[in-house]
Every structure is written in C-alpha cells, then in structure tokens.
C-alpha cells in the first residue's frame, strides 16, 4: 500500500476441418476435487474435439497440427506454487451496478448532486464493484486468461468521506489543483464487519466467490491489520466522534478544485482538542494517533510497529490489554440496528476461541468472518512489515481455523477438502529470501519486489534465482511486473513482459490491465506526490472492441501463455532446468505425490528452431507447441518448431507415451549416500539399473539409495525405462560422489585506482543466506603483481562472490554474486569471470579421511596443479605417486595400531600438505545415528521423534506414531540416539500438536552413522 504523504524510494491463417469429414465434438465439464497434498487441488475437465488444424504459411505450404492430448480427459491440477493471481482493483475494474456509485453520499454535494469535476477523478470512486467482477467471471474472461486466483481489494466498509488531495502535495494551499481522495482502494477501513456499499452487498460478495469457485478460481482478499482509515469531516459529523472547525461544510462540499493539501486540511478544519475524540472515536486503548487528538498521546509517523503510517490511526496490535468495542462502532451499529447481533457474534467468537478482547483479536475476528461466511481462500496482507510477527502469526492461525470451519459447513462448495488457507504478505522491498515473515509470522508467501525489472536479457538469471522457491515446500513468493503502488511495466513491451511473468517459477500476480496494455493516467498532474494514482486508471474494456488494437493483440498473447501456465503445474512449481542460452530455453519438471508434469519453453526464438528438450522429453516422444498448435517428434534430444512472431515456443507432451525422470537429475553429491526418486508417468511401470546391472521394477515415486562404499570422484550411472501401449521412454543420469572437504579458491585482478579488495562470499540455497563473513566480506591477500586471492573454508558449497573496495562493487549493486563451482579456482579479471589457469595452487586429496578400519584399507590418492606429489607412512621416506594411485594400508599391523599418512604436493613454489590417521580395529564398529532438534518457537516441551524406513516392506519403525521421547540437552536442544546399525532412516519431529515436516510430507533423511539437526527450518549435519 502506498498512501498520501508517503513517498517511497525504492501471417498465418488457421483453418479447422473435421476428421473423416465428420464433426464430432462434445464438451462436458465435471468438477471433482481430490487431495494430492496440502498444496494441490485437481479439477477434472473433460473435453473431446476431433478437430484437425490446418496451417497455411505465406508461401501456400500446408502443415498440420494434431489436436492437443495434453489436457484432454486430464485432471487440471492447482498449487499455490503455480498460482496465477489476478489483482483487480475492484473500483477500477468493471461497473456492474451503477446504482451504488455514490453510496454514503460519495461525490455528492449537500443537495445530493454530483460535484463538478468528481466523475473519473484520480481519488474518486469510479464505479467498479463486485457485480462487475462476477459479470467478467461469467463471460469467461479470467479462465481464458489462465487465471486461477483473483485478488480483490478489501470489500469491507471504508471511511465514507474523503481526505483532501492536491496536485502540489500535502502542504499545498488553495491553488485550483485540489481533488477529493476517497478510500476506493480498500486500505482505509471504517467498519470491518460490513460490506462497503460501493462494492455491493453481502449477497454480491457471496455470488462472486461462489461463481469464482464454480470455475476453479480461488479468491484472495486484501486486508489491513495495521491501521484503520483517516478521520474525515463527513464521518466525524455523521457519527459525532470528534471536533470540526467552523466553515468545514462550505469547504468540504464546495468546489473540488479548492481543496488544499492533506496536511493543511488537518490543521485548518478539525478541532483536535474536542474531548469527543477520546470518548466517541476509536478510543486510545484501541488505536494510537499522530494527529494530536484529545486523549491520544501523540504518536510518531513512520513505518515501525508502533508508528502511524502516513498519519493513519495505528491499531495497537501488540497490546495484550482487553478493551471494549470502539465507541465509533457502538454508535454506528446501534444506528444501523445491528448492535445486539454483532455483539453476540463477538461474544461467541471470544468464548469459542478462548481469546482475549485485545485490539488485534477484534480485527482478526472481523477479518476471519469473511472466510467463515463466504469461503475466501487467502489473504493478501498489506503493510506486513509494520505489524509485529506475533500478530501475523495469530491472524494466520485463526484464518486456518476459520477455513476449516467453512469447509466443514460447505462441503459442496469446497474446491479441495485438504487445502490450507493461503496468506501472502507485503513488505516493501522484500525479495526471494526466506525471512522471519515465514518462520515467525506464518506467511506462505511474500510479494517479490525484485522481479518487476525483468526483461528478456536478464530472464535467465532472474529465473535461476527465483527457482529456489521450489526447493522448499514452505517457501513461495508472489512475483509481479506492475502494481498499484510500484509502477506499471513498459506499456510498449507487454508482450515480452507477459512472457517473462507468466513463465516465472513460483506464484505470479497479474495487475489488472497489463494484459490489455491499459494506459497510465493523470501523468500531467502527478510526478512525485500521488504518483501512484497514475497507475490506477479504469480498465480499458472499449479498446478490446477492435481485434487489431494493441489491447486485443496483447491480450491474445497473455491468454495463450496464461492458459499454458494454468494447464501445467510444472511451469510455476516445477524444478527449473536451463537447457540453452540462445534462444533462452529451460525445462520445468514437477514430480510430487504421484503427480508428474513437464514442459520446455524457448523465449526469443525466430523462424525454424531446434529446441533442446533433452532431460525433459525422451527421444521418440511426440510433443506439441501449445502456442501455435504444431507437433514434432523428439530426435537426438531436440524438437523442431517454427516460432511465432512473438518468439515463444511452449512445449508440452503431445501423446500419452510415458515419461521417465529421476529426482534429482545428474548431479554431484557430498554425502555418504544419495536418495533418488524414480518417476514414470501415464500409469507405466518402469525398470531401473545401476551401473549396467540387472534391471529391477519400480512404480512412480519409488526411492532408491546409491553411494554406499563408493569412493570420492566416482560416478554412479542410473538408467530408468518405462513402456506402455503408446511408446517407451529411457533416461540415464550420472551421480558423482564428491569429497565434502573440498576447497575452492577465488582470485581478483585489482583495477587501477582500486582500493584493497575484499570479497563477500555467500550461499543462498533454498532462500536461506549463509555467509563466510558479513558484508563487505573478508580482505583478500596479495598473491603476486595485482592479483589478490582468498581461500574459501573447506566444504563451502554453491558459493557466490562479490568483490568490493568499500566504494564500488563487482557485480554491481542489486546483482547476484558470481557463481563459484565447488572445488574450482576462478578469477575476476578485467570484467571477465573465468577459470584461473595462470597461477593455481597445488592440492592433495584422499578417498577416505581419518577413520577406523579392520583387516586393511585401500585408499585412492589424488593431486592436482602439482609437479610432484609424495606420500609417507608413519614418517617414513616419501614415495612419489600420481593422481589416482591406490594405496593399501594396515594389512599386517596389530589391532589398535595407528597408520599416519602424509600427503604433499608441490608446483615448485607452493606446497599443499595433509595428514590423516587411521586406526585398525578388530571388528567393524557399529554405525550409530543421532537426530537432534532445536525446539521451534511456539512448540511444547514434549518433544518426540518418529523414525521409520519406507524403502523396505513392511515399513520399518522404531516406535509407532508419535514415536519416541527425545532427551533434553538444554537450551531448547533435544536429541535421540538410534539403535546401533539401524540403517538409513527418515525422521519426523512432533510435540503432539505440531510436526515437521508437515502432515503428508516425507520425513527428513538421516543417513546411517550420521548426526543431523533440525534448526530453524534447516536440516543439516550436527557439529
């Protein structure tokens, strides 16, 4: 939300002919819901069309596009991770009922006539309402766009009057540039318990939600917990809740152009010393005020938890003191004849939920009523950074309770009986990082302010960073390119903007009118103050009357890409795989809970294009470009299509042959073993083999473990196959076991006039940032000439680096760091990031670090970047070795004897030395695993752990759910030691009320012999 007084920095023809000269077309729709997990809903759509598309190009050549089988007779899946949320500023979208345009006398003078200059003004109510939204739902506007959730502005009653606006800002005197600024945007609440009449009625809201749900579309409601609306002259007069100065009526109902700036109005037309402010307005126990009203300690304006944002009355959400109903609402409800009903409802809520009558709990009750009564599916929470986390956590808890109540009472309307209520927060500037809003505030997602600058040139890097949201089921963001506060995307580049938005990982938000190139307004009036008004013009429906208009052409593109996204869970929720840089090509694969989906997208393509689909679609598979309808067969990992003029190729499966995949795909791993999940789609049963061995059967979602007793640097080849009546699919992946104690090096050639360089090194996997040192990082060491170096800590993986001298940085501010491959040596030299081959340090390695052994032990010795390498045993004379040589130790030594192996490697200038100690034992020591858990905030102390292994049949358990009691180690740390040699395990922690991982999710992997800890959302080795 951005408010007054706030300035934030920050040529083909398509012919349809029927197959066999017979028209056979039927369409039937049946709504079905099925639980796949807490984040997925399926809605079945049956549609059969035996229609052949014939495409004639400019030369008269004919190509055929077979009917898509992708969504025929197939269930359409929903996940908030793949949500396409349409943000409709309700008042500016569509006017479905003109009779309510001047509710509460808005825009009228004292005689009930429309004020001159009011209609269509920047701060005026312009007529959009709930009936208008419902009408567009019934027209199919949203489903044609691929929208599966609609974000509406807060429908509850806003302040009736206006605050003064002026083109010249809050301090402006009467200058002929005034305008009335109403709460059309929904952020200035007067009465949470009532639907605003300009928006419609309670029945209108019910019909809108029910209509949306009937089309598989969720409803997200904008809400404010931070503040209520300004006091306006009309409301103060109407409810007698404060003091007004003489002459206010002539000013308020006089010529609009004579309105002054808001700050001038506040000191001229209000009597702040009137005692009614304390006794008849919100009350000093419910809100704080910066306006200087009698009875309210003067609060500061700002964006803190206890500040008044832009002078708005700030709800005391942090207060634990019980308070009565605000006097303003008591007066209002009694006048409207609903006081007894509303008070009875409040009494029942506080009793049933066992909650104190604090300010935040009143508001939470009123907000969650929209869930209980109408079935709202989610909240978009305004100004999240200006409310304490405890209050957000409380709202999120009660919202989930209310959602369950609604589902229980309305089973025939529920889209997904196991769905969870969804909340997304707005914190100005928040990006793709898993902050305390998730872990403490309980949010499912946050608005992604960093996405709006995306374009075709930076799409790959933006997607790569954004795709980490799909590595964590409890982490999502809502990305956008335009908003009501933050500007509109380039109106001449909305084809590419739509592509970039609708193909993005995670949830995305369409701001109304981006899909129709809606223009800015009032740009001649607002350049700084009130600039956000220029983003909020009325929806340009009339521009769509011309099929060749910019609006129509833009909409057509957004509809194609939007429907593709909505048809494919993989687009937003799948794992991102970069396949080619030019044209930028990426694949997305989704495999969860028995649901499998995959796509490949090429952006910036031109003419005939060989698209790399390897690793996503198997050779021989038929695939379809959803953008043009053309078909192709995958050959040598490529599918050939002719790109449309918009340069987008959207590839989906074109037949029902199986797909196979392994999760993860080919990769390096740094653990003793690696769990792989095998997938085979279309109901096929598959087989797998390891390193060319015997084939074994698997079914979709089965897991296998590799890596045990495999030496570092050794690859394991896994091949999977699947067949059905439509074809066969095969995939082969290679997994290389790596030394977890690898070392990476970074170099930097210092530019002229550059200070002593420092390097900031971090890892942001999964949205969590791990740093070697806080910004600006660590000082680098001069290696020679102008070359500086830094050696990373052992085992620091997936590092990103930024160089700085305290004045400038490389890469520039706001850009992600340079990627440093594990164990590599890289240099930043004159603007180029490349492997460093001029001066590389020698390095020794060994296949197994210090350990115990029995009988004998075979080691594999390694060295690189060295002219000589030697080993010595127990201090004996050194022996020269080459990289990869084996060394057998311990064959003829006594039990409990130790063998010390020292490795040295030199390049003539530098030397690397490592020493390892090995102890011979009589028999193998038992492998003991241990699980630790740092008690999460809000959990009880009855910590238990459920331990199982589901790779065997029947499932192996230490104890039935909820498992065994854990031992308190102090400081909220709990532990449990597994029986010796129990083997690989999966663990779930619980206190009897909460559990992690959540219900329906697999346990955390505890490899045999390891010690792991769950701490603040991270599962990692315990040190």
Task: Report residue 932 as tokens.
Answer: 């630790």
Single out the catalytic residue among 167, 426, 514, 529: 426
Cis before 776 (ω within 30): yes
659: nearest Cα among 597, 588, 575, 725: 597
CA distances from 101 to 153, 336, 530 (A): 16, 21, 23
Contacts of 989 (CB under 8 A, 6+ apart): 933, 943, 944, 945, 966, 995, 996, 1014
Task: Report residue 535 as tokens.
Answer: 């983003």
Single out the catalytic residue among 129, 204, 382, 444: 382
426 is catalytic: yes
Other CB atoms within 10 A of residue 479 CB: 27
CA distances from 444 to 96, 238, 366, 807 (A): 33, 40, 21, 37
1014: nearest Cα among 476, 389, 439, 396: 439
Task: Report residue 974 as tokens.
Answer: 């709990």
Task: Report residue 923 as tokens.
Answer: 């028999």
- DSSP state letters, 677-731: EEEE-TT--EEEEETT---EEE-TT-EEEE-TTPPTT-EEEEEEEEEETTEEEEE
- The CA distance from 792 to 218, in Å, is 47
Q: Give a three-class secondary structure readout of 870-920.
A: EEEECCCCCEECCCCCEEEECCCCCCCCEEEEEEEEECCCCEEEEEEEEEE
Helix or strand holding residue 27 (H, E): strand 25-29
933: nearest Cα among 896, 891, 975: 975
Cis before 59 (ω within 30): no
> What pairs with residue 151 in β-bridges?
87, 220
Q: Give a three-class secondary structure readout of 363-390.
A: HHHHHHHHHHHHCCCEEEECCHHHCCHH
Rg for the chain (alpha carbons), in Å?
A: 32
Active centre residues (catalytic): 382, 426
């Amino acid at each position: 939300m951005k408010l007054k007084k706030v300035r934030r920095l920050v040529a083909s023809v398509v012919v349809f002919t029927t197959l066999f000269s017979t028209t056979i077309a039927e369409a039937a729709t049946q709504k079905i819901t099925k639980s796949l997990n807490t984040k997925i809903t399926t809605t079945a759509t049956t549609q059969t069309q035996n229609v052949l598309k014939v495409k004639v190009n400019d030369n008269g050549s004919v190509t055929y596009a077979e009917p898509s089988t992708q969504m025929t007779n197939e269930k359409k899946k929903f996940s908030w991770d793949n949500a396409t949320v349409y943000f409709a500023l309700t008042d500016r979208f569509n006017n479905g009922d003109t009779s309510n345009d001047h509710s509460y006398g808005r825009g009228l003078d004292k005689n009930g006539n429309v004020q001159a200059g009011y209609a269509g003004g920047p701060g005026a109510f312009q007529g959009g309402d709930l009936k208008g939204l419902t009408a567009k739902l019934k027209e199919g506007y949203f489903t044609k766009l691929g929208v599966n959730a609609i974000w509406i502005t807060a429908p509850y009653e806003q302040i009736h009057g206006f605050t003064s606006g002026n083109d010249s800002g809050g301090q402006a005197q009467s200058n002929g540039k005034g305008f009335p600024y109403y709460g059309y945007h929904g952020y200035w609440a007067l009465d949470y318990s009532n639907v605003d009449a300009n928006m419609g009625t309670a029945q209108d809201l019910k019909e809108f939600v029910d209509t949306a749900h009937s089309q598989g579309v969720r409803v997200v409601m904008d809400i404010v917990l931070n503040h209520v609306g300004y006091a306006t002259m009309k409301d103060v007069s109407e409810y007698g809740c404060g003091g007004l100065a003489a002459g206010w009526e002539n000013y308020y109902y006089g010529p609009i152009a004579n309105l002054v700036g808001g700050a001038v109005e506040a000191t001229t037309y209000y009597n702040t010393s009137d005692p009614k402010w304390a006794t008849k307005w919100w009350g000093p126990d419910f809100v704080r005020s910066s306006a200087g009203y009698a009875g309210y300690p003067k609060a500061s304006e700002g964006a803190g938890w206890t500040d008044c944002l832009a002078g708005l009355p700030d709800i005391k959400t942090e207060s634990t003191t019980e308070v009565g109903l605000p006097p303003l609402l008591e007066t209002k409800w009694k006048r409207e004849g609903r006081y007894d009903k509303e008070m009875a409802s409040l009494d029942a809520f506080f009793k049933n939920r066992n909650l104190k009558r604090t300010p935040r709990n009143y508001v939470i009750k009123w907000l969650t009523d929209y869930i209980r009564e109408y079935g709202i599916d989610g909240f978009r929470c305004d100004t999240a950074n200006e409310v304490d986390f405890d209050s957000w956590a409380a709202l999120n808890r009660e919202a989930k309770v209310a959602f369950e109540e609604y589902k229980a009472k309305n089973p025939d309307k529920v889209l997904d009986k196991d769905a969870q209520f969804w909340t997304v927060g707005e914190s100005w500037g928040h990006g793709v990082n898993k902050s305390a809003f998730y872990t403490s505030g309980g949010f499912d997602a946050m608005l992604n302010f960093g996405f709006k600058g995306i374009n075709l040139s930076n799409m790959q890097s933006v997607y790569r960073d954004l795709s980490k949201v799909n590595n964590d089921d409890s982490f999502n963001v809502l990305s956008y390119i335009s908003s009501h506060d933050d500007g509109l995307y380039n109106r001449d580049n909305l084809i590419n903007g739509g592509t970039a938005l609708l193909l993005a990982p995670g949830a995305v938000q369409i701001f109304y009118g981006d899909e129709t190139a809606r223009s800015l307004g009032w740009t001649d009036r607002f350049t700084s103050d009130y600039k956000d008004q220029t983003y909020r013009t009325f929806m340009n429906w009339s521009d769509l009357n011309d099929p060749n208009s910019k609006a129509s052409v833009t909409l057509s593109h957004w509809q194609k890409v939007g429907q593709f996204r909505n048809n494919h869970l993989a687009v937003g929720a799948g794992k991102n795989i970069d396949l080619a840089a030019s044209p930028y090509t990426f694949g997305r694969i989704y495999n969860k809970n028995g649901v499998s989906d995959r796509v490949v997208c090429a952006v910036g393509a031109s003419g005939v294009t060989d698209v790399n689909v390897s690793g996503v679609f198997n050779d021989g598979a038929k695939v379809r470009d959803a953008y043009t309808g053309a078909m192709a067969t995958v050959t040598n990992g490529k599918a050939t299509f002719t790109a449309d003029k918009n340069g987008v190729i959207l590839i989906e499966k074109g037949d029902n042959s199986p797909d196979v995949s392994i999760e993860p795909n080919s990769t390096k791993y740094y653990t003793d073993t690696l769990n792989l999940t095998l997938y085979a789609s279309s109901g096929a049963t598959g087989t797998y083999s390891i390193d060319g061995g015997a084939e074994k059967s698997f079914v979709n979602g089965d897991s296998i473990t590799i890596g045990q007793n495999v030496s570092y640097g050794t690859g394991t080849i896994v091949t999977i196959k699947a067949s059905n009546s439509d074809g066969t699919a095969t995939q082969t992946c290679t997994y290389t076991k790596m030394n977890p104690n690898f070392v990476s090096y970074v170099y930097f050639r210092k530019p002229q006039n550059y200070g002593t360089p420092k390097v900031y090194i971090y890892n942001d996997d999964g949205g969590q940032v791990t740093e070697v040192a806080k910004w600006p990082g660590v000082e680098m060491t001069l290696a020679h000439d102008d070359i500086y170096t830094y050696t990373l800590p052992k085992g620091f993986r997936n590092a990103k680096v930024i160089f700085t001298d305290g004045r400038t940085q490389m890469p520039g501010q706001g850009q992600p760091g340079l990627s440093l491959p594990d164990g590599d040596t890289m240099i930043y030299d004159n603007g180029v990031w490349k492997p460093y081959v001029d001066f590389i340090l020698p390095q020794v390695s060994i296949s197994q670090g210090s350990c115990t052994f029995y009988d004998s032990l075979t080691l594999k010795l390694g060295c690189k970047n060295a002219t000589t390498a030697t080993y010595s045993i127990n201090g004996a004379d050194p022996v020269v070795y080459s990289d990869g040589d084996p060394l057998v130790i311990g064959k003829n030594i006594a039990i409990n004897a130790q063998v010390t192996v020292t490795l040295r490697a030199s390049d003539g200038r530098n030397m690397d030395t490592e020493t390892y100690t090995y102890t011979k034992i009589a028999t193998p020591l038992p492998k003991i695993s241990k699980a630790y858990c740092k008690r999460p905030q809000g959990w009880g102390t009855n910590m238990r752990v459920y331990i199982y292994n589901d790779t065997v049949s029947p499932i192996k358990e230490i104890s039935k759910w909820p498992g065994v009691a854990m031992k308190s180690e102090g400081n909220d740390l709990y532990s449990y030691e597994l029986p010796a040699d129990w083997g690989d395990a999966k663990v779930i922690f619980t206190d009897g009320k909460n559990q992690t991982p959540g219900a329906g999710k697999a346990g955390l992997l505890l490899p045999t012999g390891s010690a792991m800890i769950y701490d603040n959302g991270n599962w990692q080795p315990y040190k």
